[in-house]
Amino acid sequence: QVQLAESGGGLVQAGGSLRLSCAASGLTFSSYAMGWFRRAPGKEREFVGARGRYGGYTYADSVKGRFTISRDNAKNTVYLQMNSLKPEDTAVYYCAAVPQSRITMASLRLRQTYEYWGQGTQVTVSS
């Protein structure tokens, strides 16, 4: 049974930093591409960034240069380092996983690409 568990959310002031973690179990982690999405109040879930199994990455324009995704295959964990946070980054953040056999980096930006999702962790950025 595949499980994804996010942690590290919380309340931070604008300009601050947070690091989210997503621990995966029940899968061969190194074979999976991992993505991060977020859902702000009243909005749909949107793409934040993704890291492929071979090290490729892609980010939403809104977070490019501020957020970084890394992964530790030995720990079955993917991280989202968030710097220079803004109030508009306030959202529930979700990690997601998909076996990356024939998945393109472009398709990793789409919600429907992913097979597994975590429960989410709340990030609140105060102004």
Per-residue pLDDT tens digits for 95-120? 999 998 878 999 999 999 999 999 99
Using a pLDDT cut of 70, give the percent of the chain over it. Answer: 100
The reported pLDDT for the residue numbered 55 is 86
The two most distant CA atoms of the chain are separated, in Å, by 42
* DSSP code per residue over 21-63: EEEEESS-GGGEEEEEEEE-TTS--EEEEEE-TTS-EEE-TTT
Which pLDDT score is estimated for 101?
81
DSSP state of 124: E
β 91-99/77-82 pair status = unpaired
For residues 2 and 116, give the distance between their C-alpha atoms in angstroms, rounded to a whole number: 7
Q: Could you tell me which residues come within 8 angstroms of residue 55 by beta carbon, excluding any fewer than 6 positions away?
A: none
